[in-house]
Structures are given as C-alpha cells and as structure tokens.
C-alpha cells in the first residue's frame, strides 16, 4: 500500500509544471529617459528580482553594498562630485561584507527592489534605487 501511494505521489510531483525562474532583467528597464523610474520599476517595487551587470569597484573595504553597472567600469562611477545618478546602475545592499568580483566579470544580483532615496550613514553614498537583502554570483 505504501509503495503504491509513494509512486502515485511521485508521479504527480514529476508531472507538475516547474515554477518559472525569475528572468534576469537589464538595469535600464528600471529607468525612463531622463532618469525617472519606469512603469516596470514601479510595478516591481517590493518584489524580489534578478538583475545582470558588473560590480563597480567598491567605495571602501569591508563594504556591505556595491554598485551594479550595465557595463564594466574600472573606476567608481561617482568620482566626480557633480556626477549625476546614471540610468544604468543600481546599488546592491547585502547582509554580509561583499567579496569583490573583478570589474569585467558579469554577475547576477537578486534582491528586493526599493525605490526610496537612501543615504548610507557610513559612506554618505546616496542611492536613488537599490536591491536590498541581496545576494550575487557569477
């Protein structure tokens, strides 16, 4: 009896459709021209999503956040004080100190999208949007 029930349940699990994975998005889909948030970004606020990009060099050692860029950058995108927030980056906040990935290696970051402005109390870094509670890998 147990064996028949086990086989019946196993067949049902195997026949069930697989849950679609969250497709990786491009950072630019979160912005409108002119730097505002896109409708896509507003509809995804508070949702967990995956973004592809490159890790910009961190602002400081032992950081718990980094900037994900759409193209490899060998220097920090905020070297100039007059720099505006570009429309192809997003801050990624993790729970742990980050392990730096070379600037030219594509990574995927997963986290919860937050669209409220935030100034990091330790670095003074301002982010217009970010992924929080994030993880990342190559």
Give pLDDT tens digits for 76-124.
665 544 455 677 889 999 999 999 999 999 999 999 999 999 988 888 8
Instruction: Tell me whether strands 106-114 and 48-55 are parallel, antiparallel or unpaired.
Output: antiparallel
Q: Tell me how many degrees the CA angle 135-19-92 measures, rounded to the nearest 5.
A: 15
The answer to pTM > 0.85 is no
Q: How many domains does the chain have?
A: 1
- Averaged pLDDT, 61-74: 88
Residue 53 belongs to a domain = yes
Kindly report the CATH number assigned to the domain that includes residue 122: 2.40.50.140
Residue 76 belongs to a domain = yes
Residue 6 belongs to a domain = no
pLDDT bucket at 31, cuts 50 / 70 / 90: very high
Q: Residue 68 — φ and ψ, nearest 5°?
A: -95, 130
Task: Quote the domain boundaries for residue 67.
Answer: 22-137
Residue 49 belongs to a domain = yes
Residue 11 belongs to a domain = no
What does each C-alpha distance from 85 to 36, 119, 129 come to in angstroms? 10, 13, 10
Residue 39 belongs to a domain = yes
């Amino acid at each position: 009896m147990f064996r028949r029930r086990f086989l019946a349940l196993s067949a049902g699990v195997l026949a069930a459709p697989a849950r679609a994975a969250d497709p990786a998005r491009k950072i630019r889909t979160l912005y409108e021209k002119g730097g505002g948030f896109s409708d896509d970004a507003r509809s995804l606020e508070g949702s967990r999503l995956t973004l592809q990009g490159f890790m910009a060099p961190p602002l400081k050692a032992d950081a718990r956040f980094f900037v994900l860029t759409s193209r490899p950058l060998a220097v920090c995108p905020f070297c100039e004080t007059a720099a505006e927030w570009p429309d192809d980056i997003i801050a990624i906040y993790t729970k742990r100190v980050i392990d730096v990935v070379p600037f030219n290696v594509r990574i995927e970051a997963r986290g919860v999208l937050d669209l409220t402005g935030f100034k990091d109390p330790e670095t003074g870094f301002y982010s217009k949007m970010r992924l929080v509670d994030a993880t990342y890998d190559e």
